[in-house]
Structure 1
């Protein structure tokens, strides 16, 4: 699936393959392999160590809110930690799920009192959440990096390799190697 010519970064390739399993789990697949993975590896370690990579290219349709992270995941257009950055900074529930935050209303507590900026964000956040109704269905994740919204390890690998931020160390190493080659020819 990775195609192309050249060197493959094995670490990135392994992460993309693990992320494929995260996509299947987030999508709610019920194959035996997914059931086994849910039971054995969905804790603080295992497959969830690559979930942050999956989150970069995915979005969620919130149903019961149990697997969608309130501040970090994309479920209202962009991560809430970006949309309401001042609230996120002083929130005491930075790692809670949508279900944990929205159980019995909007349950957020903050480390300090609000200034005018936080007051404005609080009003906007409450307005954004006003229509949301949690259901009993599981949340579903979808991949936003392909036109069909279907996860592929190639699109994940491409995203990781070409994030738009140049790796200056590698570029410098490559440039030094090229100049050394010219000296000896």
Structure 2
């Protein structure tokens, strides 16, 4: 059910009611194995269930966070692969995705604070006038005399200055200069050691600040069957229907453990203290 939504949430921002409807069915299949469930069947809140395993969840995808992580891919490709046909179009992504992307991506243009973009020899010992003389001639003089490399490459401001190019020769030089400057404009993904975007790194960092799940290794990296791991996960969250939880909810319950008749039944008593079990 999660996989069928991948391409949809990558392209559009699904309304909240649609995500809730999908989650309703996913909860039903998880806790009851059927289409619908009631609140009492859900032993752990859905917000915890959709956390990664190491953060105390079951690793079921949070659809909202998954959508943010997948949509960030378009902004990454727009920055790092300008040759795509759609690159110059305005990409329709929500503001929260743009905010996340601005944190996740960083750019490197070297120092460039004192080097003049249009005048100095900073491209393999050449000036731009040596590479594209006709394009250089149409740039405003005040820009040529003042604009530094850092200023020009930041957000591709030099493209704005080159709008005065109209002739075929000027446009050819513009394209040639674009190819040369590509290697000086580096972008890297801060959330991954490789520096390249990945949906998994984007998704995992949307849970930044969440509390780590202590028994993670002992629960999920053991050789126990899946149903035993699931039971241990419920134990760690204290979500088994023992007598103490029934009493807390005001439901009928035995006063003492029905196996040893010594103290109230709790999950800790059953697994550790009860001499019978």
Task: Please identify the structure whose Cα radius of gyration is greater.
Answer: 2
Same fold (TM over 0.5): no
Query: Higher relative contact order at CA 8 Å, sep ≥6: structure 1 or structure 2?
Result: 1
Where on the TM-score scale, by shorter chain, does this alignment land: which range? 0.3 to 0.5
Return the TM-score normalized by structure 2.
Answer: 0.31
